[in-house]
Structure formats: C-alpha cells, structure tokens
Amino acid sequence: MENKPKYIIFLGAGASCSEGAPAQNQLFKRAFELGCHYKIDKSGHLKKYFRDFWAINIDDMESIQKEFPTFEEALGILELARTRQESFAGYYSSTNRIDEIINDLTYLMAEVLKETLKTKQCGNHYDLVQGLKRENLLQDCCFISLNYDILIDNAMIAVQGDYDLDYGIDFLNYDLKDGGWYKPDQSRSVKLLKLHGSLNWLYCSVCKKIRITPKKKSVPEIAYIEKSAHRKNNLCEICESKYVPILVPPTYFKNMSNYYLTTIWHLSENIIKTAKKVFFCGYSMPDSDIHIKYLLKRALNNGDANCGDIIIINNHKSKQKAQKEEEERRYKRLFDWSVCFTNYSFEEFAKNPKKLILETKSKNPIFRAAEILKREPQ
C-alpha cells in the first residue's frame, strides 16, 4: 500500500544557497571566476554572447564593475527568440547558434553547481532528513524540490535504511549491477519530486528512457564529453543515441512537455491536495514561476476543503525588511487562507524540524501563527 504524506516540504534556491550554491544573480559571475566556462565553451559562443548582449568581457574578470544578468535573464531573451522563431544579427547561422548558447548556458549552470557543492558531504539538508527520521516524521513527508542539485538526494541516501527513496518515476537502470538503482517499495517510500529536473538524470529522446546516476552530477560531465573524443560514454545503452539533460530553466517560457516531468508534476498535484501542511523553504515565490503558482492553485483549490497551513521558512541574516514584506505580499496574494510567516532560516528549520511541523496546528483562515512562529528562534 502506498504511503500518503501529511507534510510537503518545498525546497527553493535559498535552501541550496545555505549550503554554498550561488544565488541566481551571482551564478554567472561565480562560474567565470571559477573558470567553469573553459570546460563548456569550446567554441567561444558564451564569450561572444556576454560581450554582445551584456557588454561583459569575461576574459577580464578583475575589471568588471557592472552586474551580471541573472540565469533567468540570460536564458529568457534567447528562449523568447526561439519561441518566436526569430533571431539577432550575427546569431542566425545554420549551426543553430541560439540553441547552442542556450545549451551552453545550461551546462555552465550545471558546472558551477558541481564546483561549488562538490565538497559538500553533509549540511542543512542532511540535518533536516536526519532530524525527521529521528522524530519518526520522515515517512510522513514528501519533498518537492525546485533545484537541480542533488543535496537533498544525497542526504536521503545517507540516512536511508528503514525507507526507500522514490522519485515518482521509473528509471532505465533499475536493478542493474553496474551503476544501478533500486525500485522503491511503495509501502515504505519517501517521495522526492524534482519539478525542474536533476543533475543526476540523463534522458534518451529516442527510447524515451531516463537513467539515474546515484550521488553523481552527470549532466555537467556530458557537456564536455559531448565536445570530446569520448562521446560513446554519453550514449544510451539501448539505442546508442546521445543522452541529454532534463533541466527546465527558470524562465516564463518553460517547456514542460517531457513525459517524466509531466508525471512528476501530476503526482505533485495529487499529493499536495491532501497535505495537512505545506512548508516553503528558501523560496520567495518569484513572478516568473507562474507554473508553480498554477500547480499550487490547482492542487489547493481542487483539493481538500480543510487544507492545512502554508508555512514560509525563508529568512536569513542579511534579508532586508522591505524584501520580507514583498515576499509576504506575494504569498498572501496567491493564497487566501492561512499563511504563516516565520523568522526561521532553512538552517534553523533543519536543526529542529519537529518544532515547526508539530506546533502549527491552526486551521483558522485568519491564523497567522503570531504566538508560535513570529517569535525569534530559541
């Protein structure tokens, strides 16, 4: 019998930032500082793109004073051009240059996440999973991640034993001895649903099969395998077609047509419908995430009339008051029932998850958790 979660824990970019991942507005600057582009940009497309579109010379990082574009901005204008079947002067050659730049930007993002998180063995995600397991709450939870990294994946693998990690989809390499993955037992599974894809998933568009590489960020590796003589290492074992990543960029123009992602989104909607509490960790509900808002509206408006509290855990030491107020307005505009804003950071929640999960009990629409959650963490 399948386990039905009581608590949904959304993980946004802020959760990964607490472990060392760069914020979206710092992603490209950090990538070029680390030299990630040397592995990705063999043809110089990225160098030309940042010079032509953003007046940034990445060969002279020390002299750059202006702000880099966000990942969303850099991809967004290219995605819009592709959607409109238009181009820009000097970017319309037969080599599909816009497509190449979009791919290289995606691989660059994957590479900087690999570099900034490669030494991370345990941290806030591990503390959270360990704390939930210790309090016998883990199998009551479902994790929904908006991040590509595998921090939460590795944390769950590290503490498993009495449960199975379930991504909500079937993988090609179930039960294979070499790099295989186990098929989860639904009666003891804990779901991790990654709405935007993952750095450890490889997809064959011919077979329509997906391979998982446990504990390994394989997406940035196929970028430079693809550009090298070792391309056979990136081929589907069934049809020998090239593997590609499943990563949905954070733009308005998201392509959500992939079968596996569609399956995950549908499953997420059904699980949210019956949840008692939904926790948003490190997520500010940005305007560009209209797909997430649509998912939540469908799930919560079409679900149980007695749906539980929406609890926001998105504070950090450097957050300004105006920023907090704007985030609160966005959440309250979206939800017309109990939204509980806390003074907790993801790190504080991870150290004592039982406190927030069990102490927020009100179903009153005017409840704002003033007595419990507005006080400073102990």
How far is Cα 15 from Cα 178, in angstroms, rounded to an integer? 32
Q: Comparing 83-87, 118-122, 192-196, which segment has the lowest mean pLDDT?
A: 118-122
Q: Is 167's pLDDT higher than 60?
A: yes
* Domain ranges (residues) in the chain: 1-20+122-196+248-378, 24-117, 201-247
CA dihedral for 119, 122, 125, 129, sign (positive or negative): positive
pLDDT attached to residue 295: 92
Q: In what order do the strands lie in the sheet with 164-166?
A: 164-166, 189-194, 141-145, 7-11, 277-281, 309-313, 339-341
DSSP state of 338: -
pLDDT attached to residue 16: 95
Tell me the average pLDDT of the chain. 84
Amino acid at 198: S
Give, in order, the Cα–Cα distances in Å from 35 to each of 64, 248, 346: 15, 24, 30
- 37, 106 Cβ separation under 8 angstroms: no
Q: Is 229's pLDDT higher than 50?
A: no
DSSP state of 303: S
Q: For the chain, what percent of residues have pLDDT higher than 90?
A: 43
The three-class DSSP label of residue 157 is helix
Q: Give the ranges where the chain is alpha helix by DSSP (H).
A: 13-17, 27-34, 37-40, 45-54, 71-83, 97-117, 124-134, 151-159, 219-226, 259-273, 290-302, 321-334, 346-351, 353-359
Q: How many CB atoms lie within 10 A of CB 311?
A: 26
pLDDT in tens, 265-311: 999 999 998 898 999 999 999 887 888 999 998 887 776 545 568 89
Rounded average pLDDT over 66-87: 88
Structure tokens at 296: 């939540």
pLDDT attached to residue 9: 97
378 falls in which pLDDT band (50, 70, 90)? very low
The three-class DSSP label of residue 140 is helix
87 falls in which pLDDT band (50, 70, 90)? confident
Q: In what order do the strands lie in the sheet with 197-204?
A: 209-212, 197-204, 244-247
Q: Comparing 29-38, 228-237, 267-276, 368-377, which segment has the lowest mean pLDDT?
A: 368-377
pLDDT attached to residue 156: 93
- 74, 105 Cβ separation under 8 angstroms: yes
pLDDT in tens, 17-65: 999 999 888 999 999 999 998 888 878 889 999 999 999 999 888 878 8
Backbone region of residue 240 per phi and psi (left: phi > 0; alpha: psi in -120 to 50; beta: other values):
left
pLDDT attached to residue 360: 60
pLDDT attached to residue 368: 39
Q: Is 100's pLDDT higher than 50?
A: yes
Which CATH number among 3.60.70.12, 3.90.1170.50, 3.40.50.1220, 3.40.50.1110 corresponds to the domain 1-20+122-196+248-378?
3.40.50.1220
Rounded average pLDDT over 356-364: 64
